[in-house]
A and B are shown apart, each in its own frame.
Chain A
Amino acid sequence: MKKIFSVVFCLLALMLFLASCEPKETYAEATFVAMDTVINIRIAEDEYDEAAMLAGCEKIVKDIESVISKTVEGSFTDHTNDDVGLVINIDPVFEEVISLSLEYSALTGGDFDITVGALKELWESCALEGREPYEGEIALKLEAVGYDMLAIEENSLKKEKNDIRIDLGAVGKGYAAQKVCDYLTESGAKGAIMSFGGNVALMGAKKSGKPYVVGIKDPKNTSDVVGYLSLEGGFVSVSGDYERYIEIGDKKYNHIIDPVSGRPSESDIHSVSVICDDGALADALSTALFVMGKDKALEFYNSKTVDFEAVIITDDGIFMTDGIKEKYKAK
């Protein structure tokens, strides 16, 4: 009997020891509002000045916002949306974001398009009036939609039509997340978990050495998740029909405008999570895949035009690309 008790005692002690041995993940944290969303940054605590790093991160985001946000008066997006054909002496950040956006538009055949600005504003202003836009109003705004009507030439942005209005909301947060990750890597941060309005960026590693675990929000019950991704780093960008919307009467319209119809996208996708190594690309792709719909999105993945993975949630279930299946665990 004594032998059994000794063994049991040792087992219990071992279990408690193993439970307490797990390295504690502690983070220094900052939450602020920028780029029309809530940004939360957590930096793994270590022997460095986390407060200075967090302040550096916030400055990077706000500097980018001041250049590319359409709601910031005097930003380059604001200038571009004036009734002009040419914006000269553009900021390098603005130039980079526009160049990347045009590249992503071409890659996705225009399903991602930053020139939907006028349409977004039309839907937003009509929502305030409590009505849908008239077909004629949509048709008029559609004439100023098309990424191929923009070009970067010698430090300037050229617009083929003066009334083109851009919106960098579908790429800006991912771009900023990428820049913050770059900054933290250069600053020597051991690890960080960032949320840019639901888009997640992961850098470095956890103290435990285990992968980061990222829950994928359930579109039908946003306080819950449908499953978890185990990731070593990178970006998870999500576009969903629940995340942002406007209400007109009793009807909710999602915020993603289909550049072809000029209406909020009527995709069969409830949410699409794009996983890739580049923040701006992940952000743009999630919008593009949402507009594409499930079948076209999976075809696009299989074309291997771009290196990414995706988790797509529709009424018919959860669809995953080949490279993410092993990293996904259902709840």
Chain B
Amino acid sequence: MSLLKHAKQYLANQSKYAHLNAFVSLAEPSKLLSRGETSTSDHVKTRFHDVTDKPIAIKDNICTKDLKTTASTGILKGFTSPYDATVVKLLQDAGAVVAGKTNMDEFGMGSHSTHSHAGPVKMYRHTADEEKSAGGSSGGSALAVASAQCWAALGTDTGGSVRLPAAYTGVVGFKPSYGLLSRWGVVAYANSLDTVGILGKNVGDVGAVFDKLNAYDPQDPTSLPPSTRARLEKDSTRSSTPLRIGIPLDYNITTLQPAVRQAWLRTLRFLWEQGHSLHPVRLPATQHALSAYYILAPAEASSNLAKYDGVRYGSRAEGIDGTPESVLFAKTRGQGFGPEVQRRILLGAFTLSAQAIDNYFIQAQKVRRVVQQDFNNVFSTQNPLVEGTSESAEEVDKVDVIVCPTAPTPAPSLANVKDQDPISAYMNDVFTVPASLAGLPAISIPVQITPEDQTAEHADYAFDESVGIQVIGQYGDDKLVLEVADAVAKVAPTCQAQAGPTVTSWGASTLEENNSTV
């Protein structure tokens, strides 16, 4: 298949799967096609994991000059950024084409990509009534990759926003170490946690995008400086086989669905068969990590979102806003933000208030530190950002990476999600949040569920279903995490993993007309 044919297929899929609501804006088709025409067909094979001329979707909270950047919020309705985010620029410099901007939870706040000003993202795979969650907040990006509407996609991961949708939609989702990829031009949700992430159908593609983006950016004050990068490079030259794989016992919770547990066990067995050794590890702070996250992230969000007032850009409420005694945007903010965003702003404003900061924000920061120490205690490599050694546990118990599920369940149905109270929705992030709090590299890889593993709910349809298995590494061990992810990807790959744009992550052929479900 030539590059031009691929380009046409991606475009066809974009119309075919438009009802999934994965995109909020699409690039001109001509932009994609013109690249296909100038390239020769053999490029496709020789440059398999190469971003050149590939259509890459960008989450709508990453700034682009050519397409609107709304972060799926009403207050940025119609907003066009005057500049490109560094990650967008790097991709374009590498020859990639921006395929469009993807739908998401408003400002990245949500786990199902339903809190969007552009309407919810909906995952239909085999039947018209199957309305599943694509995960969030990068649900649009994940589903765009899963439904072959683009070659790869950028998302952002604050507490699991790339890994969770990757797990639900059956694609690979990678959150690199905090500070490796530039956040200049990424609309901030909780900037001490926000990380640009990459979604792709296989680990190779994700790695190729990562290589293009992994560069110091002086525009981002939290970008890892070249000196530290050089140090990381030196540290990661150690030989990596066989690996010591950690099994976090604290992640084996009672609400873990059997299908997920089975996939986890299959993965561990597979890795053991490959000659790696398995070691139980304890991460006791995990149980507090989620609470800490839902204090810290809203606190930062309440601060970061204070800038949206419709004064300099963005939408304003109809009519006159403000009184001589008040600011000129009370009504605008009241109307521009959706309910979940308002909830988190209020939560954050509360936990930072003079009366509550000691018991909430400060405590949560302490928990965050403990979570990081938990990880440092089990990893065999020293956290390069922490000075001094913490030789608390014996060397024997230390591991190279941790392998665990990405989410406790496969993709839930949107009907169930709708009935959930916000706290239950927050529970989806229980396995992804610890790595975010510690700033560690983590990746979710789809592992197919065998028919035996499927629960009654899924057994009704005989289709490919996968769950996400997560690999977490020590800070800066991104290459190792990608390597292990490559091994995990061989446990039970999706049909899409090594295919062109003619197959979806759930194994449907995009060429079949009658496959269109709605």
Question: Are A and B subunits of one complex?
Answer: no
Interface of B with A (CB < 8 Å)?
none
